[in-house]
Structure 1
Amino acid sequence: RGEPPPYPPGSESMLSAMRAFELTYDAYAEAQRTMERYWSLVYVRQEALATIDAEVIRDNLVRLDGVPVVAKVASLPELAAGTRVRLSVERIDLYDLLLDLVFVEVVEVVPA
């Protein structure tokens, strides 16, 4: 169109605006993650789930079935990623957004 760009290359004001956007976006994303975890834990508590099935992601990290929660399980034995396990729900802390889980049994082993 023959017009000069609103911001010249390397413009401090453009870089500042981009950084402000990134910081705001990160803050909203963190708020969303916190809200999602809170309501997921409320759901687990309301349903009075004593046990819940999950899939091992790696090491002691699991993804729960039916709720968008990833949690660490200290008592989880060394299992291959993808292994299905059953966990006991020991404690739910809505203030700190903590979910204490204990390994119960392997539900399904993933073939190597």
Structure 2
Amino acid sequence: VPEEGAELWSDSLMVPNRADHKANAERLVDYYYDPEVAAKLAAWVNYVCPVPAAKDVLADAADKDTAALADNPLIFPDSTMRSRLAIARDITSAERVEFARRWNQIVGL
């Protein structure tokens, strides 16, 4: 993260309000947030992990390269890195419409 800072980005798992198979979708979310699964995923993607307990799972890995990922601030940002990260606010529906209008002008739609 540069001294000037950066944005902490995240992807979200969401279940649509009227999902036909809501229980199945919730089970999938629960699966991904299981620390063992989250640790495997974090080791594979090298992306910020939303499951703090996954850090301990990685640290206990038999493979030293995998265990070292527990100390990787790109996966588990430390307090120094977090102090330079901003979390963007959600845009309003009015802003979303305005941004779409501007984008459509740029691309000629």
Q: TM-score with structure 2 length normalisation? A: 0.29
Task: Answer 1 or 2: which has greater helix percent.
Answer: 2
- Higher RCO structure, 1 or 2 (CA under 8 Å, sep 6+): 2
Larger gyration radius, structure 1 or structure 2: 1
